[in-house]
Structure 1
């Protein structure tokens, strides 16, 4: 009989689909150590036999890096969606060994010399763009450093990996630690039925077995669905304040305090930059991006100027509205009031109640419509394949993606629901395996890509399916855009296939592009069917949703600009240990980017995982940079006419063949120009966000031949009077429509 010692380790088995269902913490230490030992042997063999040719250098290198990437991402993924103290401890123990090997690999002199020999030889001109682009990151991994500096560099990398891991764990633990038990129903007045059901479900899972949505008790957490519901709907201002303060001070005190970790991360990143002969870490970050520090700062400032007046007006609108509603705090609106009153104003202005719309957005219908859109745009079919691959939770769905011939071209997992006790917050997409010619499973066809999409939306309550907010619908479309770029790649060089090797400030293009379709009439009306009656979303509600798209656009823009500007400031000018603390920097940046500055005790930075535990360090601006790209890409469909089915399919096919297919094998600016026929312009983004001034509108009128625009004003003045415009419609056939007027006050219809 086999003993536990004899059991095969699932991390070391050959598999097409990762064995997510059987991997446990006990497999991590022996599995990773054995894998690293095997890879070390493979690396030594490669260094001994390496030649300056693609088959003798890059193909064996891809096999080494791919094995480690797949296994490490598997256990890291499980930590994100099925966290436990035991799994966490096991990963923490072997992580330094994994980083040590990665540094050894990235700094291999024989491999670097072979790359340089290729670069300096006649064969360089015969290599593809994809092959050439794989050489650029070697120097950033410290390969060219002298021995003593390389040793210092490696210590920094090890410590940065450890600190980032600890940062994320502190955020997760601080989020899990907080809970607010509510017994009296009047304290929770205003929360919609879905939120009450979730709060009761949470209470039941934490020992209050008799909890019900109607009678409680209820538990509020800092997990996104719970936190956002309180901020938007709780009439109890004291409750909103308590939850808000808890949220913006997460991981900033006691054993979970991230303050010192942030300072140490920033200090080490600066040291790393200096070793590589850069002035600061932002320059290191930009070395593999489309932008430069100056270009990123220039874009952020342009958008800040375009957003500021609109954001100031947003706040004035809230003050006037709340005062008219008899609110005592109308003259002193603060952070825990804006979400609540913004939601009331939005309901009043557009007669839209997000919670009342939930029954029209059931998860099964949303996914069906999303897949139908993908078929229309990109010619693919997506079908359930549950049971084909092991999953980590019963709620996880597995799908097969087929091309027009019916052949499988990719697969993906979808994990939709919030699980606060074991799953980190937010939404994300990542690769499981990438497309690869070298790693073909049959020696003929390339290995097919596999992705996973993870969200944290409201789970089903009782017999009801997951009923989504419109924002949750947008989030699913967003993550699916990322997945499409990974799955529809036609790049066979595995190291730059799918989302691999794409400049970070371009990687959000497909995701933000897909969000635009949530406002496309045919798409949205296909999604929005009442889960019980099958009734379609009323036309007037659709038009209101469309009009509400630019609601508080200035404020929402400034929120992102605060994060992006703060990120760049910390990675260019901040000096850890100087008189100005990280929180002082935040307050200073916020004076220019926030109409209401943060609370003095705001510690948002302690939960800013994107830049301290994710890949967005000196790169958070990428969201705005990619918004410009994605809005401009979508405007190609608008220019052709969104109601022109044939044109939409043709442009969708072109989008697939360029943006989605070329992966990291070609510079993103070249890819964009190949799709759009020109370099990107911020016009479409400002237009979509309703942030055009009259001057910009006139410029826009003159920038499209044989077209006219209807300018939708806000009542503050027309063209030439300095007015702002809420929306702009491109009219493709001015004679047919007969529209000749401008300065129309209310939104009427879609272009």
Structure 2
């Protein structure tokens, strides 16, 4: 890709442009690979040919993945799905090409720097993991499986993305919800109100609606997304991944996918899940007892807390025991002010500036583009696609558009979120939505700062996958800091700053519910790991999910629900959902430095930027963390957080 807005033009254009660009990227990559295999010369020149050939593919593949999840036109999304499939075929061909492997292995790295050696050694290992050294028949079947898996994953994702469900309830079911929410959901001609399973609808509803019956109805709908379409799709996904792993000499897909992560093995991942679940057991019991006591205040005969009670009862406990009213915070978190405040905080901490680009082509009128500069030099570009719409990715994530490379191209990326949209009513965020915004922005700045490495192959967020959440989880800490929030959180009507005492109540209230949160995360992690850790011929996914729910989850199985069919991480993350908690252990340790030096200390933030974010994947993540901490990371800070 070339030209200032080339990626954005493709993202905002029609299917024909994307198809042509895909063909051009594939031709560039193939030609580069053939040059690399035939070329002779200095190691750096040879490696640059190899690096750029792969970058031609990966940049368009990443962009197509974003387009498939964000573009409002079905024809363009379909073309993006096809582009991903075509590019992945070529990438698979390269990964199984023994001539490429031999040419790379033959390069003399005697005079190479540490980053180059690390990149080449890691790349050679990935070739071997892909099966490059297997016989012809094995490589042919690997190729077939890799191509099939792309389509299966797309089907799984599409079935979730397109399955927005709607509950029809009486206006009285909105009792307890904020006034702006009620006004945004007027009754229809039949006198009934429609509430969807999209996040801006369901999260406030489950948190504030006083009607347990209405909460249960919407919660059940949410748990049914992807059903029944994804039953067969998920079975195929698990079966094909198991076949691929065993074909490559591994006992399971879980072992294959954990081998090159920080954790190292499926057994270590299982041990980690069990360790965290055990540590959280005491907190879980106390949390559930508190919720049941609160539920009995409304229903003296209540015998248990149901999952649709969780958010509502936690909110009530926080209001009544900690004097924290989550609705009282919402007027201070108007979406545009939060956005400007987060950008301002990033500028202050990391020495960058954001400049709106009104001239950038965008794929939807909601999307905003910003240049990112440091010291007056353009270092990246970001796109914010922050509000829900039909057929758009319905979670929150950062998507790569361009992987940067020092002296060659700047990194670009997009945030796809589903936060309330400003309109006739101001878009007021809950605190957890503010945290989501900060979290995803953490991924964004990681991608931008890491987009200036010597080799594209180690640029961007290319470190071990079980580290990638740590920088984003770290940035969430600033949403609990009164001086930080005072920089932008003001009442949207009165202009009054967010009172520091309200933040202190928030911090106290946030201590409650950790046991439930951690055990829920460990349930997700166990489902993710175990369905890929076993031979799919030996178990039924729905039954295994029920067993794991009984062992790990804070709430028992609800018959007739199918949460795993809309658990999108089972495709992208596959067996490694544990990475969120693994990364949180590291993030809590990283945060100890900021607690000591000050959350608004730009010198500390700059050192963190340079030591942890900017290197991207040019060194093992543990080494980057050690460079910042001055020691190996430990479990201590996480344990202190969980037990506080």
TM-score tier after normalising by the smaller chain length: over 0.9
- Aligned: 1:172 with 2:147: no
Residues 169, 323 of structure 1: CA spacing in aligned structure 2 closer, same or farther, 3 A cutoff?
same
CA contact (8 A) 1:190 1:233 kept: yes
Q: 1:141 to 1:388 in 2, by over 3 A?
A: farther
The answer to whether structure 1 residue 150 and structure 2 residue 139 are counterparts is: yes
Task: Indicate the structure whose relative CO is greater, using CA pairs within 8 Å and at least 6 residues apart.
Answer: 2
1:392 is aligned to: 363
Q: Which moved more, 1:184-193 or 1:653-662?
A: 184-193
Query: Matched residues in 2 for 1:583 and 1:68: separation?
Result: 37
Do the aligned residues in 1 keep the contact of 2:200 with 2:419 (CA within 8 Å)? yes
CA distance in 2, matches of 1:22, 1:653: 35
| Aligned residue among 414, 423, 436 for 2:405 | 436
CA offset at residue 304 of structure 1?
Answer: 0.9
Which whole-Å CA distance do the structure 2 matches of 1:304 and 1:217 have between them? 43
Quote the Cα distance in structure 2 between the aligned partners of 1:263 and 1:338: 30
Aligned to 1:136: 125
Partner residue of 1:265 out of 237, 240, 258:
237
User: What are the within-5 Å matches in structure 2 for residues 534-573 of structure 1?
Assistant: 534-573=495-534
> Which of 166, 189, 194 is residue 180 of structure 2 equivalent to?
194
Pair 305,560 (structure 1): closer, same or farther in 2 beyond 3 Å:
same
Note if 1:606 corresponds to 2:606. no
Distance 2:379 2:365 in 1: 25
Deviation at 1:236, TM superposition (A): 2.3
1:559-638 matches, within 5 Å, as 559-573=520-534, 575-578=535-538, 580-612=539-571, 614=572, 616-638=573-595
Mapping for residues 712-723 of structure 1, pairs under 5 Å = none
> Is the CA contact 2:62–2:402 (under 8 Å) kept in the aligned structure 1?
no
**Bigger radius of gyration among the two:** 1
1:705 corresponding residue in structure 2: none
SS at match of 1:398: strand
- Rounded to whole Å, the distance in 2 between the matches of 1:453 and 1:462 is 24
Could you tell me which residue of structure 1 aligns to residue 445 of structure 2? 484
Distance 2:529 2:57 in 1: 31
Q: Deviations over 1:684-736 (max 9, x none)?
A: 122223x2xxxxxxxxxxxxxxxxxxxxxxxxxxxxxxxxxxx3xxxxxxxxx
Deviation (angstroms), 1:656: 0.9
Change (3 A) 1:392 1:84: closer
Deviations 1:591-635 (A, max 9, x none): 2212321213231111111122x2x11211110110011110001
Contact kept in structure 2, 1:429 and 1:452, CA below 8 Å: yes
Note closer, same or farther for the CA distance 1:197–1:42 as it changes in structure 2 (3 Å cut): farther
Taking only aligned residues, the RMSD between alpha carbons, in angstroms, comes to 2.4
1:664 aligns with 2:617: yes
Corresponding residue for residue 286 of structure 1: 258
Select which of 451, 455, 461 maps to 2:413: 451
Take 2:404 and 2:19, find their aligned partners in 1: how far apart are those partners? 28
Could you say what secondary structure the match of 2:638 adopts?
A: helix
CA distance in structure 2 between the partners assigned to 1:471 and 1:389 by the alignment: 30
1:8-47: CA deviation from partner (whole Å, max 9, x where unpaired): xxx8978555205641234344543454345434433433
> Following TM superposition, by how much is the alpha carbon of 1:174 offset from its aligned partner in structure 2, in angstroms?
2.0
Distance 1:551 1:669 in 2: 31
Counterpart Cα distance in 2 of 1:290 and 1:82: 35
Alpha-carbon separation, structure 2, partners of 1:497 and 1:95 = 21
**Structure 1 stretch 94-103 or stretch 487-496: which is displaced more?**
94-103
Contact 2:72 2:364 in 1 (8 A): no
Query: Could you tell me the TM-score, scaled by structure 1's length?
Result: 0.81
1:131/1:493 contact within 8 Å kept:
no
Report the number of matched residues: 641
Contact 1:25 1:86 (C-alpha < 8 Å) held by counterparts: yes
Bigger share in helix: 2
1:157 CA drift (Å): 0.5
